[in-house]
Amino acid sequence: MTIKQTGGIFGRNVTLNDVEAETVEATTKITTPKITNGVTSGTLTIGAGAAQNTGANILMYGEGHAQVSDFLFRAGTTQLVRIQDSGDVKVFDGDVLIGTTNVLPGGNNVEGIALSSRTYGGHLSVSRSGDVSEFNRIGSDGRVIIIRQGGGFAGAIATRSSGGNVQMYTDGGSGIDFAGDGILPMASDTITDNSKDVGSASFRWDDIYATNGTIQTSDRNEKQDIEELSDAEQRVAVAAKGLLRKFRWKSSVAENGDNARTHFGIIAQDLQAAFAAEGLDAGDYAMFISTTWWEQAVEVPAVEAVDEVTETSVDEDGNEIVTVTTMAVEAKDAYTRIDAYSTEEEAPEGATQRTRLGVRYSELLAFIIAST
């Protein structure tokens, strides 16, 4: 073995040729670099500490070792980064910052990519002034982004080539397909006809702004049992005409007071009673709607505000590095959340049964007109 010393950044550089010794040391102005050749274990360690497994060191596995060609960057014996012969790069208990010194570039409005394992536990933050990310599925249509909760499938964003459609759907069986000629309903990952509602009896939309009204299918080819109204039905229709009333919504009065506006229509309970008076069941007619569900109030506690905490350091080039150690949390007041369940079986114990009545006005008005 020959050792050649030359001047260098540490005051001396060491060149090794034909190394057979198990450990070579070279005293410098800063520390004692150590190269340890594990002859029997097939390893090579390059360290700057006083011993083989102290301080920053690089461990390389050579021939004859089960982990041949792996590189380990360590602090003492703690793995920080492992580069495997497969090309995989593994980072242990640390944050990976690309183009930034900030572990939360998105939250701090600076450009960069941060994959945080230590600070935020599996948090990815991507931030830039232009398009932030791009996802491309090569070949066939299907899922582009899969969303999971607790390890289980919760939903996905997918593509469908017919018209270059983008789809969003959930594991619960609902979804939408953004098609070239409209927004289509989906059941799980398949577009379907006549299968989904917009809103529900327990969670309703308020207003729909549209150029035209809704279109109801009225094709003879899709209907059966086509008949004229019976005498009893005629009498109910006449009675229904006399049941039209003006009214104001309680929710509107609560919000707007005397400025709440007046509406016109029928009271569903009155329509139900008119059918019953003629010995008919309003539930047999699609103009009358009765929906039952179960509700439970859940108290959500308040969230206290937490200020962002940062640490400032300087790298070897003198650049200031700001690291977020605690993410800011916005204060939120306590509130009550209402969870709704479609069946009594799925509702928790103590849930309250609710029923809401409704009317399909297009059918009601057609019914009334038929009596004149």
What does the pLDDT look like over 335-366, one tens digit per residue? Answer: 999 899 989 999 999 999 999 999 999 999 99
pLDDT value, residue 201? 85
Q: Which residue has the higher pLDDT, 154 or 37?
A: 154
Residues 6+ positions from 146 with CB-CB distance below 8 Å: 153, 156
Q: How far apart are CA 328 and CA 37, in angstroms?
A: 48
Distance CA 342, CA 36 (A): 68
pLDDT band at 158 (very low <50, low <70, confident <90, very high): very high
Q: Where are the domains of the chain?
A: 135-196, 231-370
What is the H or E stretch that residue 362 is in? Answer: helix 361-370
Residue whose token pair is 């360290």: 47
Residues 6+ apart with CB under 8 A from 32: 25, 26, 48, 49, 50
- pLDDT score, position 153: 92
pLDDT at 1: 42
Q: Determine what percent of the chain is predicted with pLDDT higher than 70.
A: 83
Cβ burial of 294 (10 Å; 0-12, 13-18, 19+) is buried
Query: How far is it, in rounded angstroms, from Cα 317 to Cα 189?
Result: 53
pLDDT digits (tens, 9 = 90+) for 48-76: 666 666 777 887 877 667 777 788 888 77
Assign 4 a pLDDT band (cuts: 50, 70, 90): very low
pLDDT, tens digit (0-9, with 9 covering 90-100), for 214-237: 888 999 999 999 999 999 999 999
> On the CB side of 323, how many CA atoms lie within 13 Å of its CA?
16
Quickly state the pLDDT bin for 39 (edges 50, 70, 90): low
Lowest mean pLDDT across 11-20, 156-165, 283-292, 302-311 = 11-20
Nearest to 371 by CA among 297, 274, 283: 274
Structural tokens at position 183:
């927004």
**What is the dotted CATH code of the domain comprising 231-370?**
1.10.10.10
Mean per-residue pLDDT of the chain = 83
State residue 278's pLDDT score: 98
Least confident of 280-294, 298-312, 342-356: 298-312
pLDDT above 60 (res 97): yes
First CA to last CA across the chain, in angstroms?
A: 114
Work out the average pLDDT over 79-83: 82
Tell me how far CA of residue 255 lies from CA of 199, 245, 252, 260, 261, in angstroms: 22, 22, 5, 8, 11
Query: Between β-strands 175-179 and 352-359, what pairing exists: parallel, antiparallel or unpaired?
Result: unpaired
* Model confidence at 249: pLDDT above 60: yes
